Amino acid sequence: MSVIVEVNRIRLTGRCGVEDAEALLTALQANPAYAIDLADCRTLHTSIVQVLLVSRSKIIAEPVELALRRWLLPLLASGGQAFELLPDGIGFSVP
Amino acid sequence: MDELLTQFLIEGRELVTDAQAHLHALLRDPADSARIDGAFRAFHTLKGSVALFDMAPASRVLHAGEGLLDQARAGKVPLSKESAIILIDCIDHVDRWIDALEVDGHLPSAADSLAEQLLSRLRGDNTAVASGSAEPAPPVWLDEFLAAAAAIIETTDRPLTAFRYQPDVGCFFRGDDPLRTAASVPDMLAMRVLPRSDWPDFSDLAPFDCMILIEGITTAPLNAVHDALRMVGDQVDIQPLPARRRARGAAGQSIRIDAARIDALAEDVGELARFGHELAHAADAVARIDAALGTRMHQLQAEFERGLGALHRDVTAARRVALGPILRRLPRLVRELGSELGRQVVFTIEGDMTEVDKTVGDMLYEPLLHLVRNAIDHGIEPPDRRQALGKAGSGRISLLARRLGDTVVIALSDDGAGIDPDRIRTMAIAKAILPPEAVMALADRDALQLVFSPGFSTADKVTQISGRGVGLDAVKSAVEAVGGHVAIESMQGRGTTTTLTLPLSAITTRLLLVHIGGDGYGVPFHRIIETVRVQPDRIRPIGDGLALVYRGRTIPVVGLAPLLSAVSQTEGDACLLIVEAEGEPLALAVDAFGRQIEAMIRPSGRLLAGLPAITGTAVLGDGQVLLVLDPARLVA
């Protein structure tokens, strides 16, 4: 179970695969103003990113997973327009 | 650039111009012996020059041309107009190859075959002449993508590889995950995600159809991109992008703009950001009366924010300047100071292409100069002392600048004597920087940071160079004034590293709103490494504090509420901000995370000066004044 509808928000958790796209779409169509919480999301399939891009849902919590943050955050922020990827390994490795 | 090459680029082009002038004259009068002589000399000298570089095709072409002109000069074979045209063509190609040598450092791969064509034309053999230019025109998508990503690409001068990946509509059923595949291409610089046609309405969305196409640019070579995309090879178009092609794009042309105009633009953007917050509040209010209209307004507001975000990125990019010119004077200064003080120093700079905001760049020179002086004066030992210690006679000082997320980190390291924390403690007590018991309680690492305190100077005798009555506290305040921070690390006998962490953008700051004890506070995003939500039982008491094991590391957890004299009102998952304090990760517990805003931080006035943890205030859309916390200073 990766798509969890809560009060005012929809949480995507763990590995969100293509099979979760329809559940997310249904949840968003029922609650279009709900924001998306990606804090516990590990991976996000393209099909789900498409839903987020088209619905233009507000992201209220960013994913923690570094590999995902790298491209997903700038992608959602730019709505798909040309964006710069975050550098690899933004984490604890501050020199 | 290599001096020999610089010289060649100037002289080589002069010879090209020379040769062209003579050859054009020969088009009108192929028998003009003075012109034939002039052209011969230009070809001959140029041939000698190109031989010094990796330009074999140019060398062969010039050699053949020289031979033809030599025969005409000796009256053996008269020069024809046709020959003059071919010679002009030859010299034009040499001219282009000189450009390529300057931009790419080597000739284009097609140079060899072009040279062969020119040679056979010079031999009077026209059969091998190919039609038109050898380079195929770049696809339309590439030009469009390059224009859209120009601001990002111009940060690098390396050769790039671009790709366009158009997944099949039904690719999800085969188990493809196109974005993940595209993001797996190594060293990705920029991406773009476009709808295949137009984005569908939300109500018409077919979740299992892939409706996007992806474009990407990487610094990885062609074969690495091929390799990463081999599973979907039939759906991708990969294009190598030599540095030269980019120069034609939008990024290549530059104009000079008065910095004040950019500043005015930045201020306008700041105002618009405030308007965006107001819009969000208005949308909230509307939503309470009419849910559908509220949703629409929220969508419009989100679109506005997105556009504004792009504008903000463009303006901040326009304000960025490369560090190179700022650092240019440092090496000479190191040499001068070194000889003055009898030190041998090897100074290296890495990352001088890194860009910083103009405001940051403007203030950076003095602090860096001060730190470099300190490193030579107090760090690097005299050569005989170094040799006695078994170190190389020459000390090393290195400056490393690099971009790290929303910050630019500049580290200045030396391999000198290092700093003795006990000596710092003694001096701090002698100079009454802190009460003795407070000084003695400091860990070595924290004691070192005392060198940044006002009134502190480690030189026992004031030298002419370091002792100008300005201490390292001036460095600290200059860096903090632009929203950065400074830290020092040292190992006795091994050396010292001073790290300046500077914000990439000095206009508005991205803040995360957090709730603590019923009040809202802002925390600058560049201070947050991660936000984490964990079940409360994962936070365990360790010693007399709390800690969380996260990603294999034990991170101390500190509640912010007590530090702000507030009472925590939390239930359910613990909300933690992971920040960096004194070089170590630290988790700060807050009651809840709020939304993110962009705000102009105003330095805190006198009223708040007693609260060092408050870096300033930000005004929200509804006029509410938000206190902005500096998490690192909060627990210092």
The ipTM assigned to this model is: 0.91
A90/B405 CB distance under 8 A:
yes
B469 and B531: one domain? no
pLDDT higher at A2 or B556: B556
Residue indicated by tokens 């050769």: B159
- Asked if the Cβ–Cβ distance from A45 to B177 is below 8 Å, we say yes
What number of other Cβ atoms are within 10 A of residue B540's Cβ? 11
- CA angle (B165 as vertex; B160, B168 as ends), nearest 5: 175
The reply to whether B86 and B177 lie within a common domain is no
- The tokens describing B543, both together, are 């010693």
- How confident is the model over B273-288, as a mean pLDDT? 81
The two tokens of residue B190 are 């920029």
* B562 and B622 together in one domain: yes
Check residues B260 and B524 and name the one with the higher pLDDT. Answer: B524
Specify whether B36 is located in the same domain as B153.
Answer: no
Residue B633 has pLDDT above 80, yes or no: no
Residue of B nearest to A77 (CA): B306
Please report which confidence band the pLDDT of residue B176 belongs to, taking 50, 70 and 90 as the band edges.
Answer: very high
Structure tokens at B238: 């990969």
Give the domain ranges of chain A: 3-78
Compute the count of residue pairs across chains A and B with CB atoms less than 8 Å apart.
141
With bands split at pLDDT 50, 70 and 90, how would you rate the model's confidence at B410? very high
CATH number at residue B105: 1.20.120.160
If 0-12 CB within 10 Å is exposed, 13-18 middle and 19+ buried, where does residue B341 land?
Answer: middle
Per-residue pLDDT, B463: 43
Does the residue B438 lie in any domain?
no
More confident residue, B260 or B446: B446
Domain hosting B86: range is 3-122
Contact A47 B194 (CB under 8 A): no
Tell which of B467, B488, B503 closes a domain.
B503
Task: Find how far residue B545's CA is from the centre of its chain.
Answer: 39
Residues of B in contact with A47 (CB under 8 A): 172, 207-208, 210
User: Is residue B612 within 8 Å of B603, Cβ to Cβ?
Assistant: no
Q: What pLDDT was estimated at residue B243?
A: 64
Instruction: Quote the tokens at residue B296.
Output: 């629409």
Are B105 and B179 within one domain? no
Give the position of tokens 């300190």: B374
Statement to judge: residues B11 and B94 lie in one domain:
yes
Residues of A in contact with B178 (CB under 8 A): 46
More confident residue, B331 or B65: B65
Token couple for B42: 């230009």
Token representation of residue B184: 């797996």
- The helix/strand/coil state of A35 is strand
Residue-wise pLDDT tens digits, B439-478: 888 889 889 998 888 777 644 444 444 444 457 888 887 7
> Given pLDDT bands bounded at 50, 70 and 90, which one contains residue B620?
low
pLDDT for B87 beyond 80: yes
What pairs with residue B596 in β-bridges? Answer: B512
Q: From CA B83, how far away is CA B65, in angstroms rounded?
A: 9
User: What is residue B252's predicted lDDT score, i.e. its pLDDT?
Assistant: 44
Q: Which two tokens stand for residue A12?
A: 């995507």
Mean pLDDT of B234-243: 84
A35-37/A59-61 β-pairing: parallel
pLDDT of amino acid B134: 42
Half-sphere exposure at residue B364, Cβ-oriented, CA atoms within 13 angstroms? 32
Contact B555, B540 (CB under 8 A): no
Q: What is the mean pLDDT of residues B161-178?
A: 92
Q: Are residues B584 and B494 in the same domain?
A: no
Mean pLDDT of chain B: 82
What is the architecture of the domain spanning A3-78? 2-Layer Sandwich (3.30)
pLDDT band at B128 (very low <50, low <70, confident <90, very high): very low
Residue B553 pairs in a beta bridge with B550
Interface probe for B, chosen from A4, A47, A55 (most Cβ of B below 10 Å), is A47
Report the C-alpha gap between B528 and B546 in whole angstroms: 19
In a domain, B439, yes or no: no
Dihedral sign, Cα of residue B473, residue B479, residue B485, residue B488: negative
Q: Is residue B241 part of a domain?
A: yes
Mutate to test the interface with A, among B163, B164, B177 (most CBs of A within 10 A): B177
Quote the minimal CA–CA distance from A18 to chain B in Å.
7
Chain A hits for B534, CB-CB cut-off 8 Å, are: none
B376 DSSP 8-state letter: I
Residue A95 scores a pLDDT above 50? no
Q: If pLDDT is split at 50, 70 and 90, which confidence band does B489 have? A: very high
Given pLDDT bands bounded at 50, 70 and 90, which one contains residue B551?
Answer: confident
| B559-610 tens-digit pLDDT | 888 888 888 887 788 899 988 777 788 899 999 888 877 666 665 555 555 6
Question: Would you give the DSSP letter of residue B54?
Answer: S
Beta-carbon neighbour count of residue B238 at 10 Å?
17
Between these two residues, B385 and B481, which has the higher pLDDT value?
B385
**pLDDT per residue as tens digits for the range B21-56:** 888 889 888 888 899 999 998 998 898 888 888 898
- Over residues B248-264, the mean pLDDT reads 63
Which of B125-129, B507-511, B619-623 has the lowest average pLDDT? Answer: B125-129
End-to-end CA separation in angstroms for chain A: 39
Q: What's the confidence (pLDDT) of residue B165?
A: 94
Torsion angles phi and psi, residue B270, rounded to 5: -60, -40
Same domain, B178 and B264: no
Taking contacts as CB-CB distances below 8 angstroms, the residues of chain B near A55 are 202, 205
Q: Do B193 and A18 touch (CB under 8 A)?
A: no
Eight-class DSSP state of B375: I
Q: Cβ atoms within 10 A of the Cβ of B2, count?
A: 8
Strand pairing of B320-322 and B355-357?
antiparallel
Pair (B587, B623) in one structural domain: yes
Q: What's the Cα-to-Cα distance from B288 to each of B278, B281, B297, B476, B601, rounded to whole Å? A: 16, 11, 12, 48, 31
pLDDT band of B412, cuts 50, 70, 90:
very high
Q: Single out the residue of B398, B287, B408 nearest to residue B358, CA to CA.
A: B408
* C-alpha–C-alpha distance, residues B630 and A16, integer Å: 35
**Among the residues of A1-95, which ranges form H helices?**
21-30, 46-55, 66-78
B151 plus B237 within the same structural domain: yes
Chain A residues 39-78 with a CB less than 8 Å from chain B? 39-40, 43, 45-47, 49-51, 53-56, 58, 60-62, 64, 67, 70-71, 74-75, 77-78
Q: What is the percent of chain B where pLDDT is above 70?
A: 88
Q: Which tens digits make up the pLDDT trace of B181-212?
A: 998 898 888 899 999 888 888 888 899 999 99
Q: What's the Cα-to-Cα distance from B115 to each of B16, B93, B587, rounded to whole Å?
A: 17, 9, 65
CB-CB neighbors (< 8 A) of A83 in chain B: 152, 190-192
Query: Would the CB atoms of B210 and A75 count as touching at under 8 Å?
Result: no
- Distances A57 to A67, B61, B309, B480, B621 between C-alpha atoms, Å: 22, 62, 16, 36, 21
Report yes or no: B159 and B189 within 8 Å, Cβ to Cβ.
Answer: no
Q: Evaluate whether residue B433 is within a structural domain.
A: no
Domain annotation covers residue B209? yes
Q: Is A24 or B52 the better-scoring residue by pLDDT?
A: A24
Going by the DSSP 8-state scheme, the letter that residue B232 receives in this structure is: G
- Tell if the CB–CB gap between B202 and A60 is shorter than 8 Å: no
| Residues B418-435, mean pLDDT to the nearest whole number | 89
Average pLDDT over residues A41-46: 92
Same-domain check for residues B403 and B527? no
Q: To probe the interface with A, which of B163, B174, B179 has the most A CB atoms within 10 Å?
A: B179
Q: Is B59 a member of any domain?
A: yes
Cβ distance of A82 and B191 shorter than 8 Å = yes
- Residues B588-604, buried b or exposed e (16+ Cβ, 10 A)? bbbbbbbeebbbbbeeb
Q: Residue B605 and residue B616: Cα distance in Å, rounded?
A: 8
Is B531 within 8 Å of A47 when comparing Cβ atoms?
Answer: no
Query: Which of B95-109, B207-221, B448-462, B604-618: highest mean pLDDT?
Result: B207-221
Share of chain B above pLDDT 90, in %: 19
Token pair of B30 as six digits: 């192929």
Q: Give the start-end residues of each E strand in B420-560.
A: 485-491, 495-503, 509-516, 519-524, 528-534, 539-542, 545-550, 553-559
Q: What band does B248 get if pLDDT is binned at 50, 70 and 90?
A: very low
Pick B180's closest partner by Cβ from A46, A61, A83. A46
- Contacts for A90 with CB less than 8 Å, ≥ 6 apart: A66, A69, A70, B404, B405, B529
- CATH number, domain of B607, equals 2.40.50.180
More confident residue, B278 or A1: B278
> What local confidence, expressed as pLDDT, does residue B609 receive?
54
Q: Are residues B525 and B605 in the same domain?
A: yes
Q: In this complex, do B585 and A92 lie within 8 Å of one another by their Cβ atoms?
A: yes
Q: Which residues of chain B lie closer than 8 angstroms to A58, CB-CB?
A: 298, 302
Cα separation values, B405 from A65, B596, B600, Å = 15, 17, 19
Cα–Cα–Cα angle for B628, B597, B629, rounded to 5 degrees? 15
Report residue A24's pLDDT band, with 50, 70 and 90 as the boundaries. Answer: very high
Instruction: Identify all chain B residues contacting A71, using CB atoms and an 8 Å cutoff.
Output: 179, 183, 188, 191
CA distance B426 to B432: 10
B450 in a structural domain? no
Contacts of B264 (CB under 8 A, 6+ apart): none
Give the 3-state secondary structure of residue B353.
coil
Show which of B268, B297, B319 is a domain's final residue.
Answer: B319
CATH number at residue B484: 3.30.565.10
The closest of B221, B322, B226, B316 to B267, measured between CA atoms, is B316
Higher pLDDT, B158 or B436: B436
CATH for B169? 3.30.70
- The Cα B487–Cα B476 span in angstroms is 9
Q: How many domains does chain B have?
A: 5
Decide if B500 contacts B479 (C-beta within 8 A).
yes
Q: What is the pLDDT of residue B537?
A: 87
With contact defined as beta carbons under 8 Å apart, do A10 and A34 qualify?
Answer: yes
Phi (first) and psi of residue B503, to 5 degrees: -70, 145
Of B224, B252, B280, which residue constitutes the final position of a domain?
B252
> Is residue A33 within 8 angstroms of chain B, CB to CB?
yes
Cα–Cα distance, B485 to B195 (Å, whole number): 42
pLDDT value of position B293: 92
